[in-house]
Amino acid sequence: MTESARILAKDTGETLAQHTIRCLEIAESVLANLPFEESRIASISEDLRDALSVHDVGKAATGFQKSLGKGSERWGRRHEVISASFASFQKLKEEIIFAALTHHKTIPLDGILPCKGCLHFEEIPLAPDPYTVWFKMAREWEENKQLCAIEWSEILSKANSKNLSVNLGLSCLALPEMWLDSMEQGKVDFQRRLYASLLRGLLMSCDHVASSNVKINVPKIPDLSKIKIDVHTLYSFQEKAHVTKGNLILQAPTGSGKTLAAQLWAGKNQKRNGRLFYCLPNTASINAMYLRLCKYYGETNVGLLHSRALSSLYAMGDNDKSDSPLIRQKDARQASSLAKEIWYPIRVCTPHQILRYTLHGRGWELMLSEFPNSCFIFDEIHAYDPVVTGFVIATAKFLTENNASCLFLSATMPDFIKKMLQDEISPIEFIAPSLDDQSDKKILEQKRHNLRISDGNILTNIDNILGSIERSKSTLIVCNHVPSAQTVFEEISKKGIKGVVLLHSRFCRKDRDNIEKNLQAGLPKVLVATQVVEVSLDVDFEQAFSEPAPIDALIQRLGRVNRKGERSPANIVVFKEQISKYSIYNKDIVSRSIAELQSLSNPLREIDLIAVANRVYQSGYNGEDLERYNNALNHPLIKCYKERLVAGFHNDWTEQIIEKTDGTIDLLPHVLAAQYAEYQSQGLWLESNRLLVPVRTASLSYLSEYLDKNSDPWIINKPYSSSIGLSLKAQGEIE
């Protein structure tokens, strides 16, 4: 029998038997990592192996096989419908038939209205009278029945199943129509809906992993308590976190070792095959934490999961000069893909990626086999808007009710956020450094900064700032807007100051990575930056000047100066005014933050800053914000989980929450267009994507005359350089 006479599963030439057997091999590792008792895993194992054995048998249809040829048209029919019919002929469980039927598409809504990503009712052979189209599909499969028998024989030799027969055939689905009726899911018992969803999720993930052609086995769940601690002594609050069993709120100053305390807590709270999910509010801090956890646990155990993870992983691979860009691109794509599957036991992500599951977005079924027994760390929860905060707290409550443990970290945990957590999640402990403990007291009374609130803005005080720059080895200047930072950078550079660097969000990824890499290697004379400096960068300047901002943002900015407190208190100047007339922050919060800071005595203590944060945010959510928080907190998909669980169905609207980055669109500067085309011609699409610059969609209306929308991506004809970034200002314009 020639290879061309085999039934193929992929256009790569992989046969049906080869792909199915690979799925079965992946399943062995996945099953070993499930957070369930052995008896339940054994039951799941039998059903999953049967489901994987039959899930692609429908690909034997002649129409599907023809579609695999180069340049061939798509078949236009669903092979998994035939696979489910084959499973019915094999007299397998309804849950197995259902998993096979829906492992690519979701259940039909009503058979009348079109539904994106849904199966079509007319293809599904429900007794007693299937539609005509089904019989055409069945005939195409029968035409290849003999060849399919060869594949099936190989599959059976590896499946080790007592339920599967050598006989081949199709039948109407042994599946009551109520299984496919999403509007009346209550007709099916919750436990059956739950198990059907779990099995579907496992089948889909094993299928995806097998298709990725990954060469290593699924990593085993590591023992989180075996973390290598790189400090000789722990602060008292870290020791307390280390021995705390159960949910925890941990508040500690920036740079005091919160992350280490969190890892120690996770080691104490890990249960059988429990995974670790570390959630942070932005991609820059997520990337930095990913690299840190890779050092703790090994990079084969840690996955990166956010909307720009693929590009980030590619950039990180640049450290290995032995690999070509094409190899790095392939590796990054595989790592990014595996992070969405049951693969990495530790994931660093945004909380939105967790909400994708609890709000039943695409692929939500994975949570049923990954979330139980796991540890979830939500870092800087106060940084989210009321809606995301409500969703996160509702999700945390759901997680704790399913035997997971949650930790909430913050340098400035407002009392009202702490109370909301304590009201919803019980039991939960609170730990913070204490003045009664000598080691903790050292942290709280640490005096790292002398703060001065000054009239005017950075530009009106530029001469005084220049004089101070001359007397200092390193100076940080933080602006609230990109154009402001560009203007300040240009003003300082004009004065002949050497070693001035600019950092903001409107650099292409390639240039920004280079700037950040250079910053980690050594500080410049002056860094002019926007809020991007508040996260991820482990830098330590001698002094700083900042535009006004909320207290929590200012605390993060202060944390980039005299970071370890090993020098005498550093000078910090916060101006009452910003350069731009546009405010990105709540003006009342900023005003209260400045007023509270102005009342403090120098040098500042960490405990003083925590007290200021509490006073600024003491009123909590009010009015519309409170309503939005409560609506999210009580969302029925989470609160009424049992009643709302629909097996085989996901909510497309959830993607609007998850994939909505920060209201930006990636544009290609005109001066980089030739380089972009060159990378594209070489097949280096990730390298070309690193030339794109994120721009807020709100800016597009006044940029339309500078945009070429006929290209993909859109090209923007505005000045760009590797030192200034993309400038959207009109010539001579300050803001």
What pLDDT shows up at residue 583? 93
CA torsion sign, 149 to 154 to 157 to 163? negative
What pLDDT shows up at residue 271? 96
Q: How confident is the model at residue 4 (pLDDT cuts 50, 70, 90)?
A: low
What pLDDT shows up at residue 3? 46
Ranges 130-134, 177-181, 697-701: which has the least confidence: 177-181
* 254 and 313 together in one domain: yes
* 484 and 596 together in one domain: yes
CATH of the domain at 98: 1.10.3210
Ranges 132-136, 179-183, 359-363, 563-567: which has the least confidence: 179-183
* 26 and 168 together in one domain: yes
69-82 per-position pLDDT tens digit: 888 899 999 999 99
State the average pLDDT over residues 429-453: 93
- The answer, yes or no, to whether residue 661 has pLDDT greater than 50, is no
Picking from 211, 245, 261, the residue at the C-terminal end of a domain is 211
For residue 73, tell me if it sits in a domain.
yes
Q: How confident is the model at residue 549 (pLDDT cuts 50, 70, 90)?
A: very high
State the average pLDDT over residues 638-650: 89
5-48 per-position pLDDT tens digit: 899 999 999 999 999 999 999 999 999 999 999 999 999 999 99
* 468 and 411 together in one domain: no
600-621 per-position pLDDT tens digit: 999 999 899 989 999 999 999 9
205-237 per-position pLDDT tens digit: 999 999 998 887 889 999 999 887 777 789 999
Residue 467 to residue 441: CA distance in whole angstroms: 36
For residue 539, tell me if it sits in a domain.
yes
Q: How confident is the model at residue 654 (pLDDT cuts 50, 70, 90)?
A: low
* Residue that is written with structure tokens 């100076």 in the block: 475
Q: How many domains does the chain have?
A: 4
For β-strands 346-349 and 302-305, DSSP reports them as parallel
For residue 387, tell me if it sits in a domain.
yes
What pLDDT shows up at residue 129? 87
Is pTM beyond 0.85? Reply is yes
* 132 and 17 together in one domain: yes
* 381 and 518 together in one domain: no
* 393 and 453 together in one domain: no
The answer to whether the peptide bond before residue 524 is cis (omega within 30 degrees of 0) is no
* 304 and 430 together in one domain: yes
What pLDDT shows up at residue 127? 84
Share of the chain above pLDDT 90, in %: 76
What pLDDT shows up at residue 520? 87
* Residue that is written with structure tokens 């007693």 in the block: 128
What pLDDT shows up at residue 381? 86
Residue in 411, 458, 460 with CA at minimum distance from that of residue 433? 411
Alpha helices per DSSP H over 587-622: 587-598, 606-616
176-207 per-position pLDDT tens digit: 777 776 656 667 889 999 999 999 999 999 99
Neighbour tally for 718: CB within 10 Å? 20
* 415 and 535 together in one domain: no
536 neighbors 288 (Cβ within 8 angstroms): yes
For residue 735, tell me if it sits in a domain.
no
119 neighbors 663 (Cβ within 8 angstroms): no
* Residue that is written with structure tokens 């809020």 in the block: 531
Residue 692 to residue 701: CA distance in whole angstroms: 19
Domain boundaries, position 308: 224-435+631-647
**H or E segment and range at residue 711:** none
* 539 and 674 together in one domain: no
Could you give the 3-state DSSP secondary structure of residue 112? coil
Burial track 416-436 (b if 16+ CB lie within 10 A, e otherwise): ebbebbeeebeebeebbbeee
Picking from 613, 647, 681, the residue at the C-terminal end of a domain is 647
DSSP 352-384: HHHHHHHTT-TTGGGHHHHSTT-EEEEETGGGS
Q: How confident is the model at residue 1 (pLDDT cuts 50, 70, 90)?
A: very low
| C-alpha distances out from residue 94 to 54, 101, 413, Å | 13, 10, 49
Cβ-proximal residues to 472 (8 Å cutoff; 6+ apart), any chain: 542, 543
What is the DSSP-derived secondary structure letter of residue 459? T
Cβ-proximal residues to 137 (8 Å cutoff; 6+ apart), any chain: 61, 63, 77, 81, 82, 123
The residue with greater pLDDT, 122 or 454, is: 454
Q: Where are the beta strands (DSSP E) in 223-369?
A: 247-251, 276-279, 302-305, 346-349
- Give helix 145-159 / helix 132-143 axis angle, nearest 10°: 80
Q: How confident is the model at residue 117 (pLDDT cuts 50, 70, 90)?
A: confident
CA torsion 493→499→504→508, rounded to 10°?
A: 100
What pLDDT shows up at residue 660? 52
CATH of the domain at 541: 3.40.50.300
Residue 724 to residue 721: CA distance in whole angstroms: 5
Could you give the 3-state DSSP secondary structure of residue 566? coil
- The answer, yes or no, to whether residue 692 has pLDDT greater than 70, is yes
Residues constituting the chain = 735
Neighbour tally for 721: CB within 10 Å? 13
For residue 217, tell me if it sits in a domain.
no
What pLDDT shows up at residue 185? 62
* Ramachandran assignment for 683, one of left (phi > 0), alpha (psi -120 to 50 degrees), beta (any other): left
Picking from 167, 189, 211, the residue at the C-terminal end of a domain is 211
DSSP 117-169: TBPPGGGS--SS---HHHHHHHHHHHHTHHHHHHHHHHHHHHH--SS--S---
- The answer, yes or no, to whether residue 275 has pLDDT greater than 50, is yes
373 neighbors 404 (Cβ within 8 angstroms): yes
Cβ-proximal residues to 128 (8 Å cutoff; 6+ apart), any chain: 172
Mean pLDDT for the chain overall:
91
575 neighbors 583 (Cβ within 8 angstroms): no
For residue 658, tell me if it sits in a domain.
no
What pLDDT shows up at residue 92? 96
579 neighbors 547 (Cβ within 8 angstroms): yes
Partnered with residue 346 across adjacent β-strands are 276, 302
Residue 575 to residue 613: CA distance in whole angstroms: 18
336 neighbors 349 (Cβ within 8 angstroms): no
The residue with greater pLDDT, 65 or 180, is: 65
237-253 per-position pLDDT tens digit: 999 999 999 999 999 98
Alpha helices per DSSP H over 339-478: 351-358, 367-370, 386-400, 415-424, 438-444, 462-470
The residue with greater pLDDT, 538 or 123, is: 123
* 635 and 710 together in one domain: no
- The answer, yes or no, to whether residue 473 has pLDDT greater than 70, is yes
Cβ-proximal residues to 65 (8 Å cutoff; 6+ apart), any chain: 7, 8, 59, 144
Cβ-proximal residues to 725 (8 Å cutoff; 6+ apart), any chain: 482, 486, 502, 504, 506, 507, 511, 693
Residue in 548, 253, 270 with CA at minimum distance from that of residue 413? 253
Alpha helices per DSSP H over 617-684: 623-633, 636-639, 641-644, 654-658, 673-681
For residue 617, tell me if it sits in a domain.
no
* 250 and 343 together in one domain: yes
Q: How confident is the model at residue 114 (pLDDT cuts 50, 70, 90)?
A: low
For β-strands 375-379 and 276-279, DSSP reports them as parallel
What pLDDT shows up at residue 656? 63
The residue with greater pLDDT, 217 or 561, is: 561
545 neighbors 467 (Cβ within 8 angstroms): no
For residue 508, tell me if it sits in a domain.
yes
54 neighbors 90 (Cβ within 8 angstroms): yes
